[in-house]
Amino acid sequence: MSRLTTIAALAGVLSGGILAATAGSALAAGQDGVLNDGEAGFYYNSGCVNSMSDFATARSNLAGYEFLSSGAGKGQAVKNNTACVANARLTANLRVYYNSGYQGVNDLIPAGEYGNLSNTYNENASFKWI
């Protein structure tokens, strides 16, 4: 059975999410509070410590998402509460925006890097890879 056939078979039994795969790519984990390759990690505290929420795709509005992993901030809203962001995608920079809909002042997190937010520190509403 080819890799794509195996992925297609797995997709048929998975529920609750969208699975996109290409030959040679790894399956990204769902939002689980663990930063995996290709994801963005939004952290409650500066220095990218304490509770985190992970995202595999861009979000035009972070409302409704919470910090998932253990530590300070667990259960708090991600929107307007993020101090640090990690970009575990090695092929694209990540931009965090002050407003929903990818609008307003923003911070750039280079591919494979992490850092404290400055323009959007605790005022983050959306993000996408560019």
Model pLDDT for residues 37-57, shown as the tens digit of each residue: 999 999 999 999 999 999 999
Q: What's the average model confidence in pLDDT over 87-111?
A: 98
67-77: pLDDT as tens digits: 999 999 999 99
User: Alpha-carbon distance 98 to 115, whole Å?
Assistant: 16
Q: Are residues 93 and 61 in the same domain?
A: yes
Q: Are residues 72 and 110 in the same domain?
A: yes
Predicted local confidence at residue 16, as pLDDT: 33
For the domain that residue 112 is a member of, what is the CATH number? 2.60.20.10
Q: Which domain holds residue 15?
A: 1-26
Q: Are residues 41 and 75 in the same domain?
A: yes
Q: Are residues 17 and 38 in the same domain?
A: no
Q: Are residues 43 and 98 in the same domain?
A: yes
Q: Are residues 22 and 35 in the same domain?
A: no
| Average pLDDT value over all residues in the chain | 83
Q: Are residues 59 and 6 in the same domain?
A: no
Q: Are residues 109 and 70 in the same domain?
A: yes
9-20: pLDDT as tens digits: 323 322 233 233
The answer to whether residue 30 scores a pLDDT higher than 90 is: no
Query: How many folded domains does the chain comprise?
Result: 2
Q: Are residues 79 and 97 in the same domain?
A: yes
Q: Are residues 14 and 62 in the same domain?
A: no
26-56: buried (b, 16+ CB within 10 Å) or exposed (e) per residue? eebbebebebeebbbbbbbbeebebbbbbbb
Q: Are residues 66 and 121 in the same domain?
A: yes
